[in-house]
Amino acid sequence: MFKKILIANRGEIAVRIIRACKNLRIKTVAVYSEVDKNSLHTELADEKICIGPANPRESYLDMNKIVSAALITKADAIHPGFGFLSESSNFVELCKKDNIRFIGPDSEVIDSMGNKSKARNTMIEANVAVVPGSKEPIYKSEVGKIIADEMGYPVIVKASSGGGGKGMRIVEDERDFHKLFSLAQTESMNAFNDDTMYVEKYIKNPKHIEVQILGDSYGNIIHLGERDCSIQRNHQKMIEESPSPVIDEMTREKLGQEAIKAAKAVNYENAGTIEFLMDKDFNFYFIEMNTRIQVEHPVTEMVTGIDLIKEQIKIAAGEKISLNQKDIKVKGHSIECRINAENPANNFLPCPGEITYLHLPGGNGVRIDTAIYSGYKLPMNYDSMIGKIIVHGVDRKEAIEKMKTALDELVIGGIETNANFQYSLMNNLTYLSGKANTGFIEELLS
């Protein structure tokens, strides 16, 4: 087992990883930018080291600084969390070069799954159902339009290296294709330094379903059930739950098997997520694989009782998965609400600032993953998510009631948050029915 792990991240996920390391009696190193000097993760870790200015490119995205920090502190492994360098194959190779274990899959898998067009072709070869679309990378809008015209509209233009809703545009009319393709490609270059695009048929208002998988270096791969992540705004997830309220046992079994088939196609190792779109007829299609831990991993932990971060660490240390598929039992229902520092009344404008007062909810079946505290100053340089409320109930109805209570008890002074908006969603009839799809929020706000 590792003796010391450096966490190449910040905020609530850094705190989450530190807690898992403490449970395993592993020492931790926190890295931080100058603006994160007083962040909670720096106080909880055994050691801390500054890696540069607030700009992520000069700190959390500077792989040389992070590897140097690991070497200086004699960390034998790095956990990347999510975002930043978590899906950088170059970072994995740099870690390997310096004999530091990257807690995640190898660089080849990250490359093959991180590039959306490569991932599609890999899944097609593995006989996994994918959304109809282009097979080769697209660099020119003229080429993309020919493919879109053949498929029929609407289509969606996507960045091959995309994620988090960036580098994506829905094209409803052929007359808008060139303009929207150009916008998506420019956004992709700015966010990922990659102008590789692809085009696929747009399935309007589907369900977004993902399956959590674990794989070890001995060829064992299991799935831990599905999560319903259909409540989104601008392709950013807001509410996630497990299990999905609309999937029956037969479909659930098929989803799990498809996810394992997809993971086996790339000999997957560590924690990962296979994401699907599901249409109104319950047909599902592979859209991408996330080769890292997900923001929404706690709902899977709540219904299975399995600590996914600890499993990640143990797998990276060379241990076998201690569970078989038959051992995985989903119990009850879990829901997660992402709490963002933003103002829903002002087009969800980010609201950094000082937290003047904080009261966090608690009680039976309520979990809070956050790194904020009273007096903490939220920087404007990073994502607006400041925490997650996760609840667990015997069924979905109880989980919803617990979430409403938790949101009602949450008090964050000094800044605007989306907590009240999340509370309103918990009372929305469409959400309560379980039938809300990816277009739900847009329709609600229109």
22 residue type, one letter: K
CA dist 22 and 16 (Å) reads: 10
- Of residues 15 and 162, more confidently modeled: 15
Reading the block at residue 43, the tokens are: 């106080």
Q: Are residues 155 and 42 in the same domain?
A: no
Q: Are residues 215 and 192 in the same domain?
A: no
CA dist 250 and 333 (Å) reads: 18
Write out pLDDT tens, residues 156-186.
999 988 766 789 999 999 999 999 999 999 9
Per-residue confidence band for 115, with pLDDT thresholds at 50, 70 and 90: confident
CA dist 102 and 390 (Å) reads: 28
| Overall size of the chain counted in residues | 446
CATH value at residue 50: 3.40.50.20
Residue 161: closest CA among 55, 290, 277, 265: 290
CA dist 251 and 245 (Å) reads: 12
Q: Does residue 433 belong to any structural domain of this protein?
A: yes
81 residue type, one letter: G
Per-residue confidence band for 374, with pLDDT thresholds at 50, 70 and 90: very high
Q: Are residues 237 and 268 in the same domain?
A: yes
Choosing from 173, 201, 229, the residue where a domain stops is 201
CATH value at residue 253: 3.30.470.20
Q: Which helix (H) or strand (E) holds 8?
A: none
Write out pLDDT tens, residues 245-270.
999 999 999 999 999 999 999 999 99
pLDDT of residue 327: 95
Mean pLDDT of the chain: 95
Q: Are residues 152 and 216 in the same domain?
A: no
CA angle 395, 399, 405 (to 5 degrees): 150
Q: Does residue 125 belong to any structural domain of this protein?
A: no
Q: Are residues 184 and 214 in the same domain?
A: no
Q: Residue 110: phi, psi to the nearest 5?
A: -60, -40
In the three-class reduction of DSSP (H, G, I as helix; E, B as strand; rest coil), residue 64 is classed as helix
Lowest-confidence segment of 135-139, 257-261, 384-388 by average pLDDT: 135-139
**DSSP classification of residue 130:** B
Q: Which domain holds residue 19?
A: 4-103
Q: Are residues 304 and 437 in the same domain?
A: yes
Q: Does residue 113 belong to any structural domain of this protein?
A: no
Q: Are residues 197 and 212 in the same domain?
A: no
Q: Are residues 91 and 54 in the same domain?
A: yes
pLDDT of residue 145: 96
| Residue 292 annotated as catalytic | yes
Q: DSSP alpha helices (H): ranges in 220-307?
A: 249-264, 297-304
- pTM assigned to the model: 0.90
pLDDT of residue 280: 87
383 residue type, one letter: D
Tokens 């969606």 belong to: 156
Q: Does residue 122 belong to any structural domain of this protein?
A: no
Choosing from 201, 218, 235, the residue where a domain stops is 201
Per-residue confidence band for 373, with pLDDT thresholds at 50, 70 and 90: very high
- Of residues 204 and 61, more confidently modeled: 61
**Whether residue 227 has pLDDT greater than 90:** yes
Q: Are residues 165 and 142 in the same domain?
A: yes
Domain count, the chain: 3
pLDDT of residue 164: 66
Choosing from 143, 172, 201, the residue where a domain stops is 201
Q: Does residue 119 belong to any structural domain of this protein?
A: no
Strand partners, 278: 207, 284
**Whether residue 116 has pLDDT greater than 80:** no
pLDDT of residue 131: 87
Reading the block at residue 352, the tokens are: 């950094």
State the catalytic residue, choosing from 10, 120, 233, 292.
292
Q: Does residue 127 belong to any structural domain of this protein?
A: no
pLDDT of residue 161: 80
* 376 within 8 A of 355, measured Cβ to Cβ: yes
Q: Are residues 195 and 212 in the same domain?
A: no
Reading the block at residue 303, the tokens are: 């219904």
Q: Does residue 321 belong to any structural domain of this protein?
A: yes
- Of residues 203 and 60, more confidently modeled: 60
CATH value at residue 171: 3.30.1490.20
Write out pLDDT tens, residues 270-285.
999 999 999 988 999 9
CA dist 114 and 104 (Å) reads: 13
Q: Are residues 62 and 143 in the same domain?
A: no
**Whether residue 387 has pLDDT greater than 90:** yes
Write out pLDDT tens, residues 181-201.
999 999 998 888 899 998 988
Q: Are residues 441 and 400 in the same domain?
A: yes
Write out pLDDT tens, residues 298-337.
999 999 999 999 999 999 999 999 899 999 999 999 999 9
